[in-house]
Amino acid sequence: MTCSIGEGLSKKTKRRVTADLKDFLTFPAAPDQFSGDLFGPFRSNIEKFLQKNRQSQPASISPHLKFCQIMFRIGNLKEGPDSTPAVVTLDVLEEEVQNSRSVYCDQCKVVGWSGHPVCAKRYHFIIRSGLFGSIDGYNKPCASCGEILELPDSRCKSCNYVMTKDELEEWVHLQLATTTHLLHAVVHSNGFGHLLRVNGKEGGSKLLSGCDIMNFWDRLCTTLRVRKISVMDVSKKYGLEYPLLHAITNGHPWYGRWGYEFGAGSFALTADSYKNSVDNLSRIPLSLFYSESRKPRTRLHSVISFYQSLSETPLLTLSDLFNILMRLIRNADQQSPADTHKKPGNSSWTKEDSDHVEQAIIKVLRAVGGERWVSWRSLKGALYRIASSELLDHCLKDLGGKMVHEGMVYSRCNPDTDALEYRLNTSHNISEDMQSSCAMATCPTKDHLLRDLRFLYASLLDPKTMVCDRPVRTSEIVKSSAAKLIDCKQFVKDYKPENIPMVNPLNPFAVRLLCEVELIDHPKGYAAPPPELILLKPNATLADIRSEATKAFQEVYLMFKGFEAKEIISPVTSEFKNAGCFSSLVDSIIRSNSYIRVQGSCHGTHVHLFGTERGLDEWTVSCVCGATDDDGERMFACDGCEVWQHTRCAGIHDSDAVPEQFVCGRCAILLNTSLPTSGIYSCKDEVVSNDKASGRGKNLTAGVR
């Protein structure tokens, strides 16, 4: 994911070129000069941002899509022969929505923004995994001779083959939809957007971690004054559901580190459902699964016991257990094995106490013999009368590699039993390396840790495979909570740009107003769009409000292309009523940062076509789970009433094929039909015929998975 700055350039030239680039790891920062005039809404900030920072002039790759590039160096410049830092490129693609293949936004539909009018533009922010610093990634080869086409010209200059509009649209769609992008986000011209993809080092990135990419994206959003960004978290880590795993260990999803909070849950789940599920799972006591006196001893008991023995503090809950596992895995990547299992801690026992117990342990090992391994549990069982369990654990943790008169204590992690074991080596030819390697042997390898993580996840968290040797009520709570966390996929960060204190040094007395709009004779299903920020000069009049409001909404939304603001209907204050005419000065009537409402009308065909992001389709969702709108999950519609509901709520597993003909329970009674039904709601699958064999039903939002 890096590129060189031209193979033919000298190192000095490369270094000079790189020195002119901003650092990806800190850009954009508040002191940067580029941010000096980004005091307006996103719709205007993005244009100014691109004009100041792009390294290339906008180029067209299709009639409705043009792009430019911004290059960054990764890290600071350093002295030395090989000091040229790597370079990464951000592609910014401006999409004219009216002519796009996908006019309506699938992500808006499932996150709860389906009532927004269709925006005029979308801005895609993409970091590709290859071909950085070059526009070659957006050059299409000719389907006939293989030569590169000079887009947007669709005719090949070598063989005169003409690419069809459908071929071009399909190619553009594939460029945007590829899963290999390190970053792909899209922001509508109204400042609402979606983080579609982040691929860190586990996703193919060689230099940038997921945190590096997210830090950059968060700073960029703040600078551009975006409003809200959603993300659908369906990430996997080590083959496991990472949203569930991260919620157990940290209390929030991975994206929560950057302020993303619950936005919308599938199956009518709420923010309270999410919070309660996190609390329920995190606080489950390990004593339900693990007891030193429990018989018979299972693998689950052994694994929990093993990590109890590695921890410097007692592991009391599921959260404690998975936290130590994740910490050990991180350390296995970052540190030497000797550092991964020991943490300095305050001992409440005296040196005499520890020495006494250590001598007793060595006496047991001496009696057993130097060839036999003795488990941690067996040693504690033999010595439980002379010391507390906590003191025995404390001494056993540091016993591996300890030199004694007869030789040295060896320790190992038995991969078959998940137990620490010890023996006394009486050889006198012991080097420092042998002593160090023996101390490291008690720390499991990364492969061992991952195997245990997957086992514990399957046994304790996965609702499909978790063990049931606990109270029935507890099992139900754990299974339900885990399933809810997996079903909570939509998270949103509200950047609240209207709350950011912004004083433009070039125009410190500018009036900032948040303008709401009310339509006269609005169309069916119309919902007012979010308010738009408008900036006015200090001497602006009420007539200027109408003019700027008209301009703002015309610029942002397609349905408002024919909009005209006719009247200011709010705020209703005595100053406003006494103003009398539209020539009155704004700053004498309305305070800066106030909300105002204008009333006007829209004309033209845009009103009907682009009224909402949900599109022209009309559907009714009424599911037993409580869902009343599309949430991106598989649904089907009743043959009788055409009401949509989840296949899962109708008792049809996600991996099962859906019967072609169904009616819901209500319609079955009304129609007195003999058609098969399933559960309370059993309805028709509206899938394309070629897809039936796969068992995939239809999402109302076809593009969201």
pLDDT in tens, 276-335: 999 999 999 988 876 555 555 688 888 888 888 788 788 999 999 999 999 999 888 765
Which percentage of the chain shows pLDDT scores above 90? 33
Q: Which strand (E) or helix (H) includes residue 666?
A: helix 665-671
Q: What is the pLDDT of residue 492?
A: 97
Q: What is the pLDDT of residue 555?
A: 96
User: DSSP code of 270?
Assistant: -
Mean pLDDT of 421-429: 72
Q: How far apart are the first and last CA of the chain?
A: 26
The answer to whether the CB of 68 falls within 8 A of the CB of 59 is yes
For residues 434 and 262, the model is more confident at 262
pLDDT band at 662 (very low <50, low <70, confident <90, very high): confident
- pLDDT for 633 beyond 60: yes
- pLDDT for 433 beyond 50: no
Q: What's phi and psi for 220, nearest 5 deg?
A: -65, -45
pLDDT in tens, 34-69: 455 778 899 999 999 999 998 877 777 777 888 889
Return the SS3 of 331: helix
- pLDDT for 442 beyond 60: no
- pLDDT for 577 beyond 60: no
Which of 139-153, 219-233, 488-502 is least confident?
A: 139-153
User: DSSP code of 162?
Assistant: B
Residue 618 has a CB neighbour count (10 Å cut-off) of 9
Return the SS3 of 519: strand
The domain locations on the chain are 11-227, 503-609, 619-705
Mean pLDDT of 418-431: 69
Q: What is the pLDDT of residue 33?
A: 42
pLDDT in tens, 457-475: 999 999 988 887 667 778 8
Q: Rounded to whole angstroms, how far apart are CA atoms 552 and 563?
A: 10
Q: What is the pLDDT of residue 696?
A: 34
Mean pLDDT of 388-416: 76
The answer to whether the CB of 268 falls within 8 A of the CB of 511 is no
Residue 259 has a CB neighbour count (10 Å cut-off) of 14
Is residue 226 classed exposed, middle or buried when 0-12, 13-18 and 19+ CB atoms within 10 A define those classes? Answer: buried
User: DSSP code of 84?
Assistant: P
- pLDDT for 603 beyond 80: yes
- pLDDT for 429 beyond 90: no
- Between the alpha carbon of residue 704 and those of residues 120, 489, 612, the distances in Å are 21, 12, 18
Greatest mean pLDDT among 66-80, 98-112, 166-180, 402-416 lies in 98-112
List, edge to edge, every strand of the sheet that includes 643-646: 620-621, 643-646, 635-637
Q: 538 Cβ partners below 8 Å, 6+ apart? A: 509, 510, 511, 587
For residues 139 and 654, the model is more confident at 654
Q: What is the pLDDT of residue 365?
A: 84
Helix intervals (H) in 311-445: 318-334, 351-368, 376-383, 389-397, 432-440
For residues 679 and 177, the model is more confident at 177
- Cα Rg for the chain, rounded, in angstroms? 32
Q: What is the pLDDT of residue 683?
A: 35
Which of 113-117, 342-346, 566-570 is least confident?
A: 342-346
Q: Rounded to whole angstroms, how far apart are CA atoms 48 and 39?
A: 10
For residues 167 and 569, the model is more confident at 569
Q: Rounded to whole angstroms, how far apart are CA atoms 354 and 423?
A: 19
> Nearest CA to 233 among 198, 276, 181?
198
The answer to whether the CB of 265 falls within 8 A of the CB of 487 is yes
- Helix 242-250 vs helix 271-282: angle between axes, to the nearest 10 degrees? 70
- pLDDT for 688 beyond 70: no
pLDDT in tens, 19-33: 678 899 998 876 444
User: DSSP code of 338?
Assistant: G
Q: What is the pLDDT of residue 18?
A: 63
Return the SS3 of 155: strand
Q: What is the pLDDT of residue 20?
A: 78
Mean pLDDT of 618-623: 86
For residues 18 and 399, the model is more confident at 399
For residues 665 and 699, the model is more confident at 665
> For the CA atoms of 182, 130, 63, 54, what is the dihedral angle to 10 degrees?
80
Q: Rounded to whole angstroms, how far apart are CA atoms 560 and 456?
A: 55
Q: 242 Cβ partners below 8 Å, 6+ apart? A: 233, 235, 236, 254
Return the SS3 of 560: coil
The answer to whether the CB of 127 falls within 8 A of the CB of 89 is yes
Which of 67-76, 387-396, 584-593 is least confident?
A: 584-593
Which of 43-57, 331-345, 474-488 is least confident?
A: 331-345
pLDDT in tens, 291-302: 555 555 688 888
Q: 613 Cβ partners below 8 Å, 6+ apart? A: 104, 105, 108, 109, 113, 114, 115, 116, 117, 118
Mean pLDDT of 396-417: 74
Q: Rounded to whole angstroms, how far apart are CA atoms 685 and 663?
A: 10
CB half-sphere exposure, 657, CA atoms < 13 A: 10
Q: 588 Cβ partners below 8 Å, 6+ apart? A: 575
- pLDDT for 531 beyond 90: yes
Q: Rounded to whole angstroms, how far apart are CA atoms 248 and 324?
A: 12
Mean pLDDT of 526-547: 89
Q: Is the dihedral of CA 201, 205, 208, 213 positive or negative?
A: negative
Task: Supply the mean pLDDT for the chain.
Answer: 79
Q: Rounded to whole angstroms, how far apart are CA atoms 112 and 110?
A: 6
Q: Indicate the class that CATH gives domain 503-609.
A: alpha beta
The fold adopted by the segment(s) 619-705 is Herpes Virus-1 (3.30.40)
> Nearest CA to 316 among 342, 346, 290, 349?
290
Mean pLDDT of 82-104: 87
The answer to whether the CB of 482 falls within 8 A of the CB of 244 is yes
> Nearest CA to 456 among 654, 249, 204, 266?
249
- pLDDT for 489 beyond 60: yes
- pLDDT for 76 beyond 70: yes
